[in-house]
Amino acid sequence: MNLSELRPPAGQQKSSRRIGRGMGSHRGKTSGRGHKGARSIAGYSKMRGFEGGQMPLHRRLPKRGFTNIFKKEFALLNVGRLDKLEGDSFDPKSLVASGVLKKIHDGLKILATGELTRKIHVKAHLFSEAAEKKILAAGGTIEKLPLKVKKTEAPAPEK
């Protein structure tokens, strides 16, 4: 016995219903779709959230808030986490490479939670005031990197 000889048990596979094969088949003319209406037409697909003509939930609920398209998303890292990491110099690229941060969208911000017990050098786009004080008090240094600026087209000069 091999895989090419395997067959399903007798009676398990049912042949598909043949529609649109004349009036004698009981599935002719409209092919079981009825007369008129959306579902009678080829290519019909129900809209996502359709509730049979009732006002759909996404239209019954009020609209709330908005999305700020200019929002900046910073990767956040605490001083206490830097203290636990090996090495004495940290920058965004090395932190992503070591797996401490997943992704840096608009920059890296260092926050002050945790204790710092050693001297470190940190390069980041932003520092909280308390984080700056903690790093400098431990004898470390900070270096502020320039923020990424999204370029927009300059308006055309007037004539």
Q: Whose CA is closest to 108, among 89, 88, 129, 122?
A: 122
Residue 150's pLDDT band, with cuts at 50, 70 and 90, is low
Report strand pairing: 121-124 vs 89-90.
Answer: parallel
* Predicted model pTM: 0.58
Mean of pLDDT over the chain? 91
Strand runs (DSSP E) across the chain, as ranges?
75-78, 89-90, 108-111, 121-124, 126-127, 141-144
Q: Could you read off the pLDDT of 86-129 as tens digits, one per residue?
A: 999 999 999 999 999 999 889 999 999 999 999 999 999 999 99
Q: Look at the block and give the residue holding tokens 């786009």.
A: 125
Contact 79, 135 (CB under 8 A): yes
Class of the domain covering 75-144: alpha beta
